[in-house]
Amino acid sequence: MGSGRLRRIIAVATNTYRETVRERVLYNLVFFALVMTVSGLILRDLAVRQDDKIIKDLGLAAMDVFGTLIAIFIGVGLVSKEIEKRSLYPLLARPLTRSEFLLGKLAGLAFTLLVNLGVMTIGLYATLWAIRLRGALAAPPDAQLLVAVAAIYAGMILVLAVALLFSTVTSSTMAAVWTFALVVVGRYADVIRNMREVVPGVPSWLTELVYYTLPNFAQFDLKNRVVHGESVPLATLVLILAYSLSYSTVLLGVAALAFRRKDL
């Protein structure tokens, strides 16, 4: 990739990040802080001995939900909003290709999600340390939480790639509907695979095809394993990251193809 191309992608990404910050997307962190504080206070009053597991579970779930919602609802507007408002016109008249624009938009929102997730992770660890300082937690919080967080981030990138693809081919509203539907279906991928048990008439090749074609969001969920102390091998995490990266690359390629000759 040439330095000019990289500089243009970074310029688009920086502007996308700035947009999310100025549009107060990161305000969800306030809700996260609220969830952590309130749950910490409630659990202290209830004196539950397993409060660290509940805090971890709540924290990771909140990260997952907030991150996915941001990826969907900001992601679907990344391109379609630019087309609808025509803010794209003066940009594409410059030496900026449509593929560079897409990559820049994806990178910008991916960075926003990273910052968001990073701050929430720090918040979760801070809450756990606060509990430990109160004497309610024997062992310090371990690094396994980071494995679950990394898997959540990999899932968000894939959600973002799905949203970006729909954003290039349809309106913001329809892109949100399609992305949301695909994320929900992908989270219950195992149900599709086991559909033959519920509906015996469905041919196995069809369920297998759907199962392997649709993005499998269920595998990004390592929360339960980590919260219950199960050690997740590094190889599993690498596979999850590779899956997200390769699937996202394919989706981005399709989006670039669809966008290349689209009349604006």
Partner 1 sequence: MQSLVLENLTKTYRFGHLGRRSWTALEDLSLDVEAGEVFGLLGPNGSGKTTTLKAVLGLIVADAGRITVLGRPQSDPAWRAAVGFLPEHPYFYDYLTAVEYLHYAGRLNGMAAALRRARVADLLERLGLARVAHVALRRYSKGMIQRLGLAQALMNDPQLVFLDEPMSGLDPIGRRLVREEILALKRAGKTVFFSTHILSDAEALCDRVALLRTGRLVRTGRLDEILQMDVAHVEVLVTCLAAEVRESLVVRPRVCHVMGERCRLEVDEATLGELLTELTRKGARILAVQPVRQSLEDFFFREMGVTQGQGGWALDD
HEC string of the chain equals CCHHHHHHHHHHHHHHHHHHHHCCHHHHHHHHHHHHHHHHHHHHHHCCCCHHHHHHHHHHHHHHHHHHHHHHHHHCHHHHHHHHHCCCHHHHCCCCCHHHHHHHHHHHHHHHHHHHHHHHHHHHHHHHHHHHHCCCCCCCCCCHHHHHHHHHHHHHHHHHHHHHHHHHHCCHHHHHHHHHHHHHHHHCHHHHHCHHHHCCCCCHHHHHHHHHHCCCCHHHCCHHHHHCCCCCCHHHHHHHHHHHHHHHHHHHHHHHHHHHCCCC
Which of 1, 94, 133, 234 is close enough to bind partner 1 by CB under 8 A? 94
Cβ-based nearer residue to partner 1, 45 or 94 = 94
* C-alpha span between 84 and 171 (Å, rounded): 8
Name residue 126's amino acid: A
In angstroms, give the least distance from the CB of 262 to partner 1: 9
Binding of partner 1 by 95 (CB under 8 A): yes
In the range 242-261, which residues lie near partner 1 by CB under 8 A?
A: 261
Binding of partner 1 by 91 (CB under 8 A): yes
Which residues contact residue 73 at a Cβ distance below 8 angstroms, ignoring those fewer than 6 apart?
Answer: 176
Contact region with partner 1 (CB under 8 A), list: 28-36, 95-103, 204-212, 245-253: 95-103
Cβ-based nearer residue to partner 1, 18 or 49 = 18
How far from 15 is each of 12, 79, 134, 164, CA to CA, in Å?
5, 13, 43, 17
In angstroms, give the least distance from the CB of 90 to partner 1: 6
Contact region with partner 1 (CB under 8 A), list: 12-20, 25-33, 138-146, 156-164: 12-20
Applying CB under 8 A, what is the total number of residues that bind partner 1? 25
In the range 165-184, which residues lie near partner 1 by CB under 8 A?
A: none
Binding of partner 1 by 93 (CB under 8 A): yes
In the range 13-42, which residues lie near partner 1 by CB under 8 A?
A: 15, 18-19, 22-23
Contact region with partner 1 (CB under 8 A), list: 45-53, 66-74, 91-99, 175-183: 91-99
Cβ-based nearer residue to partner 1, 53 or 85 = 85
Which of 97, 171, 207, 236 is close enough to bind partner 1 by CB under 8 A? 97
Binding of partner 1 by 96 (CB under 8 A): yes
Binding of partner 1 by 190 (CB under 8 A): no
> Would you tell me which residues interact with partner 1 (CB under 8 A)?
4, 7-8, 11-12, 15, 18-19, 22-23, 85-87, 89-97, 261, 263-264
